[in-house]
A and B are shown apart, each in its own frame.
Chain A
């Protein structure tokens, strides 16, 4: 049984101007321990897909199953890292992690929970920021805390919605390598939304390309793990895959201009 199964998922929003279809008949499955990147141009529906998995939106049609059970609401079996504002600004790094642990039903004295939170902060390289507030942390450090939080809350599934989209390139590379290492080490199932082709190739076991509200391609990444930026450069498999994904994005541009040949 796949860890996550999405069957014929359709999501429509209704607002004052009528309806809007965000997803139209999406089918996919993610195995236990798999790292799947969902990629596509902005507005393709990839974030909407994640919001259904998070339990924030209910499907209009179809269903989402986790371990064979239908998802109807948010749950602590899923840990979420958003692009922005994942952390509560009034709690310290430790406080944020302890809050999430308590929500996941991890009980214990405040001191014990803090000690566990500190262990996870050490793991993401924040040993000297236990008591700092989010306003005192850089964007990259905040995302490290968010990652430590989902690890500490013991979620089986990580749902990450363009988590490194607002981080500068140097920190982004470090964070990508960190999440790749931690996901492998902790054997988590990860669904990672991004619009960055290189990021997807670096991290994913499988890349799902979504466009126009549907899954358009499902590509297994055959490159040996662990991967680094350096090891990817010049790898023929990387070049081939990168070209394939570029073509998918490019195809979309051509479609939008009316099917005529476009010279960039």
Chain B
């Protein structure tokens, strides 16, 4: 018995020694991998002999350097291991793409060289920026209206039991219809394409927001209501200073989801009848089989969505900090 205890103690001790040894000799493999991949990518871009159709690698190199810079900032600020792994994955993909094109196996039209794709960001920068503005103004307008009316409407409807019992089942049905289904019809019916797009985004965001708000307001903890009532709050105070802040996290938590579906509707609608915008950019050039620009457009949309999602995350943490 005594021996057993002793050995166990030793085992614990040696574990502790191992652990401390690991700490001192810890190598951040993820970060090393990411940087090795970055270096190889840069080396290949700069030194490998290129076929004649490949344009200047300046834009491609700039993009890789930008990724590296963001990675280094995020890594040293937060030391999150997953960042290194995600960045490694991006470098590996770009490297594979580059090598595939260098090998000569790639179809020159269907799989354009990455240098040419990234070059588009420079060549078409004015078009792309204009597209971004066009899309964002529609997106913000549609989402802004939808959030405003969804939150206020849900607050009022949710507070009145009778209205709640009418609207909750109705909105449950409506909010399950994917807006993409009726997008072509809306584009045909509405007087302008812009109005149609705003309307589609509005419906994509409004119904889920409205529904979530009604449900949340309807299930406010009785004790919260009582605490407010004993302080003799009037109706506006009850709605806007008690129930609204109580319910808002629910809506904010869905914001990135709402945003994704709004983006989906917007790019979808733009492919139907726009004359500017992110989706329009992709659609126009795929009609001409200009896949270099199509791929650039897709990457552009992905980057914008990512940036906006990061902003939404920050907003969430700020608005609902009391939940953490």
Tell which of B101-109, B195-203, B221-229 binds the partner. B221-229
B241 CB within 8 Å of chain A:
yes
B6 CB within 8 Å of chain A:
no
Of B230, B233, B237, B324, chain A has the most CB atoms within 10 Å of the CB of B230
Chain B residue contacts of A92, Cβ below 8 A: 322
A133 CB within 8 Å of chain B:
yes
Interface string of B199-212 (1 = CB under 8 A from A): 00000000000000
Complex contact A99–B224 (CB within 8 A)? no
Nearest CB on B from A202, distance (A) = 26
Q: A90-B246, A90-B322, A135-B323 are in contact. Are A85 and B229 (CB under 8 A)?
A: no
Q: How far is the CA of A99 from the CA of B224 in the complex (A)?
A: 14
Chain A residue contacts of B242, Cβ below 8 A: 88
Interface string of A73-113 (1 = CB under 8 A from B): 11110101010111111111000000110011000000000
Please name the residue on chain B nearest to A104 by beta carbon.
B231
Chain A residue contacts of B246, Cβ below 8 A: 88-90
Tell me the count of chain A residues lying within 8 A, CB to CB, of chain B: 27
Chain A residue contacts of B318, Cβ below 8 A: none
In the complex, which range does the number of interface residues on chain B fall in?
A: 20 to 34
B245 CB within 8 Å of chain A:
yes
Complex contact A85–B230 (CB within 8 A)? no
Task: List B212-255 residues whose CB lies under 8 Å from chain A.
Answer: 221, 223-224, 226-233, 237, 241-242, 245-246
Complex contact A86–B227 (CB within 8 A)? yes
Complex contact B231–A103 (CB within 8 A)? yes
Contact of A85 among B224, B321, B324 (CB under 8 A): B224
Complex contact A76–B322 (CB within 8 A)? no
Q: How far is the CA of A78 from the CA of B241 in the complex (A)?
A: 21
Please name the residue on chain A nearest to B244 by beta carbon.
A90
Contact of B230 among A55, A88, A91 (CB under 8 A): A55
Nearest CB on B from A253, distance (A) = 30
Nearest CB on A from B316, distance (A) = 14
Q: How far is the CA of A85 from the CA of B228 in the complex (A)?
A: 11
- A selection of 22 A-B contacts at a CB cut-off of 8 Å is A54-B226, A55-B229, A56-B229, A73-B232, A74-B229, A75-B232, A80-B230, A82-B226, A82-B227, A84-B223, A85-B223, A87-B227, A88-B224, A88-B246, A89-B322, A90-B245, A99-B231, A100-B231, A103-B232, A103-B237, A135-B323, A153-B231
User: Which 6 residue pairs spanning A and B have beta carbons closest together?
Assistant: A85-B223, A90-B245, A103-B231, A133-B322, A80-B230, A90-B322
Apart from A75-B232, A86-B227, 16 more pairs, CB < 8 Å: A54-B230, A73-B232, A74-B230, A74-B232, A80-B227, A84-B223, A87-B227, A88-B227, A88-B228, A88-B246, A92-B322, A103-B232, A133-B322, A135-B322, A135-B324, A153-B231
